[in-house]
Structure 1
Amino acid sequence: MLTELPFPFTHIHNNQGRLSKMRCYDSAAHLAAPCFQFDTCPDGFALIEDDIEFDPAVHLQLEMPEQIKSLTELGYSDEELTKLQMPSDVAVTSLYRVLSDEGLAAMRHVMKQLEAHAVVSPRIPCVLRGSPKVAPEKPVDRWHFDTTPLVMVLFLTDPDEYEGGHFEYFDGTIYEAQRLIKETGSLPEDRIRRLGRQKAGYGVFQQGPAVMHRASAVTSGPERITFVQSYVSTDPLAFGGCNHLAESYNGKCEDASLQISHAQPSACLTPRHPWYRDFRLNLTGVDPLNVFMPDWVRFRSWVASLELSKLLHPSLLYTLSGALAERDSDVVGPGKRVLTLLDKMQAAIACPFIDAREDIVATIDKSLPDLQALAAQLDETSEHFKSVRRAADMLASAREDVLTLDKSTMAYF
């Protein structure tokens, strides 16, 4: 599940197209919050028995990383950063503590119960949806960059229990890494960076779409377990990963010579990456459709609600009232209209886990026509129109995805 930004980057934001960040030092006050709550299980799933209720006061021991490498230090130009639209200049951190001893024990307890559900994928030898576990002599993960904007990798195995399995990243841009891999088949050793001793309960945070990274092979030991979590900025204009699943994940590479095979280092590209059109990969399925489609609708609807919520700012509400009054003297108060739309969008944000496409689309249609009608009443050059139009487009693209997605092809998210 995608969540808002975690400590120490809760307040990373994009201010009028300029990259900026605010570090937060009060860990208790800046815990990540879920985008939306999961109160029901999809068909075929069940809650684990003997679960442990999460208590941040007991299970967390958050500390600041000693080092933060920036995207600028990786070599990105201002033009490239603008094109990527990342929410911050942060690239990757050094290791920092996340879990307390009690939290680590609780996490390993849960992982043990879920172990039987792990599967094999072309990319990762043994994976439990976001938590890879590997056998010796197998590469943990190949060179890639992520489809989700912000990722924390949490290490759960004592480093004395295995050798190898290093988190590594390329000290350069993804564009340079792609070029080197294409030309030489590998990346130069002197440009590969490691984090050091990966203590259990410690993590690394990165803006994965802009950092080429991998986990090297485990050379000895029974296992190496990591818990991989995805996060998203609360700024709807910041990079949010994939924007259109039907185009991204049903697509096939138009130039066969550019197709990356499973035997080669791979990268999952999204529409915002300049190389996207050359590398539209048809990825291996992971989630069943009754999870995949509603989950996507929930997320996109949540982002759309953030965009629409901007109109509740007093200054925008005042000018919105005037803009609507010019076109319709009987218009309902703008604040009430926006709140009513946000209320209707809750149907999609709480979309049930089903595979009936018409019923999923019906949750979107509770608000989409009204959003489109509101946009039609506004001046296309106004900020009001842009926010409403962006929110409507997010819902419309999610609707199209549900109706046109051929199969579950999301490899990781």
Structure 2
Amino acid sequence: MSVSQCACCPVDVDPPKGYTMETVPTLVNEDQVWSDEKHLSLTFPTSIQTLEKDLNNDPEVVKFLATDYGCCSRFRVMSNEGSRVLDHVIDSLEKYSKSCPRIPKLIRGATFRSEFLNGMGHSSAVLRHVSLLAGCELIYHPMKIHQLHVNMKPNDSSTSTNNPVKKNVDRWHCDSTPFVLIVFCTDPDEYTGGTLQFFNGPKEEGLRILTAGNGLPADRVKNVGRQDKGFGVFMQGWRVFHQVTPVLTGDARTTMVFSFYPRNVLALEACAHLSQTYAPVDPLYIIMPDWVRFRAWKAARRLEMLREKWDDFTLASKNFTDNDLITLIDTTHAKLWRIVKSLPYTDQRQLFTSCLRESIEDLKTFLLATYPDKISCAHLLSAKEPALDTENIDPATSGLTLSVTSVADLEDTEVGVFGKKQPLLFGLDAEFLCSPLGVSNLMGVVEDIENCVDDVITLQEEESKLVYF
């Protein structure tokens, strides 16, 4: 994968203050360069659990997700040489470890600091592998601060008698990023405890139980099995409650966590507001521009999905002049992509809001002028994602009605700009109104960016709405 073309890497932008690529003093130079051939030994899991069949998720929710994939058994990720180099890299980065309420010891933004990890964070082999597992096309998460973090054994999980308190390595939670690859970096014979567990049930049920102050039923808490060094598990982590138990004996228990995002951005998403993914451990001058770039990327990707189907369906079927609309879509896309590639690492909120507002100004004007009395109805007929409270979705009352079998079908060639045939509700452009890729998608571009503007304006430092138990 070309770094210059990926969503998480701006071009000609200085790294964030205090974050620089470092040489690992215990490795020779050639060992510090990532190689898919040298450092990977990818295999496939022996079992996969789906959300609907195996984890009892509501099919009316699942059909709005990018995929039905839930989680899997362990599989090999790293070669022996990859694990050897990784040991040195993590040891050199431990001095940057921090603590937050959910995770007592972690390293954030590791791809800012390590050429080796940044190389793995652009590995085409890893990306192909997890996309095959998920059953949909994934990219590395557009927010570089979220791309990779390292979880470590808490310092106060000491085995000494004068400090008996054992903290979870990670508490019960669902991720704020859609998919995660968790790679085990410590030989399991060197520690006890530190077990990765997941709840064998839907997110909504787990949330109700934990919010009520009750523990999850023991017979429905599952272990992933032996956590062999260099092996990993892959899960749709925002839909699966999981935790890591305290380390009982041993000096280390380390995992590396990569985050991924589906290219089908019309799917229900893990979080829609910055406060839902912000933790004070991340500086605002990193998390905020990363969030702005991410939302600009998502909005641009909406337009790309429309344009990818345009030639196949629109030119032959659309009954009104569309040349101006094509130009508007392409111009808006260029403005959004400029944000993705050029926004600097800073905490200048006025810069963020002005760039965001300018990027959609013309599209917003067009939509309000062209569809002033049709927008709300168009939303009801589209794949418009529901409000933020995804833990309590009621598809029967949320306006979630699609003219396709599932959101995943939007990647199939049979679904185009017009969706499937609908009656002429609003005149000659009825099908464009009814399509998940049509008017509601363009309105989604505007709404995503306006919500991002609100996030930038309203987020308070130290304010986080991350949910964990």
**Where does residue 301 of structure 2 map in the other structure?**
306
Q: Does 1:134 align with 2:113?
A: no
Are positions 1:151 and 2:132 aligned together? no
Q: Where does 1:3-402 land on structure 2 (aligned, <5 Å)?
A: 34-39=6-11, 40-50=14-24, 52-72=32-52, 73-82=54-63, 85-129=64-108, 130-135=149-154, 136=157, 137-182=166-211, 185-245=214-274, 248=276, 284-312=279-307, 313=309, 314-318=311-315, 323-324=320-321, 332=324, 334-350=325-341, 351-376=343-368, 378-379=370-371, 380=374, 381=378, 382=433, 383=435, 384-402=438-456
Question: Is the Cα–Cα contact under 8 Å of residues 357 and 450 in structure 2 kept in the other structure?
Answer: no
- Aligned pair count? 340
Structure 2 unmatched ranges of 5 or more: 109-148, 158-165, 379-432
TM-score of the aligned structures, taking structure 1 as reference length: 0.75
Are the counterparts in 1 of residues 153 and 254 from structure 2 also a CA contact under 8 Å? Answer: yes
Deviations for 1:20-79, whole angstroms, at most 9, x for unmatched residues? xxxxxxxxx9xxx94332453112322222482222222222111110011121122323
C-alpha distance in 2 between matches for 1:44 and 1:366: 31
What SS class does the counterpart of residue 210 from structure 1 fall into?
Answer: coil
Give 1:237 shift. Answer: 1.2
| Alpha carbons 2:48, 2:70 under 8 Å: kept | yes
Q: Secondary structure of the residue that 1:216 maps to in structure 2? A: strand
Distance between the aligned counterparts of 1:173 and 1:105, measured in 2?
Answer: 37
The CA deviation string for residues 221-257 of structure 1, in whole angstroms up to 9 with x for no partner, is 11111111211111111132211235x57xxxxxxxx
Specify the SS of the correspondent of 2:71: strand
Task: Label 1:150 to 1:339 Cα distance change in 2 as closer, same or farther (>3 A).
Answer: same
CA contact (8 A) 2:183 2:256 kept: yes
Q: Is the partner of 2:347 in helix, strand or coil? A: coil
Q: Which residue number corresponds to residue 145 of structure 2?
A: none
- Distance in 2 between residues matched to 1:366 and 1:178, nearest whole Å: 39
Give 1:317 shift.
4.8
Structure 2: how far apart are the matches of 1:348 and 1:205?
A: 31
Contact conserved, 1:120 with 1:126, CA < 8 A, in 2? Answer: yes
RMSD (Å) for aligned C-alpha atoms: 2.6
How far does the alpha carbon of each residue in 1:130-149 deviate from its partner, in whole angstroms, 9 at most, with x for none? 21101433311111212221
Q: Give CA-to-partner distance per residue, 1:353-376, whole Å, 9 cap, x none.
A: 111111122322342102213323
Gaps (5+ residues) in structure 1? 1-28, 250-282, 326-330
Note closer, same or farther for the CA distance 1:410–1:103 as it changes in structure 2 (3 Å cut): farther
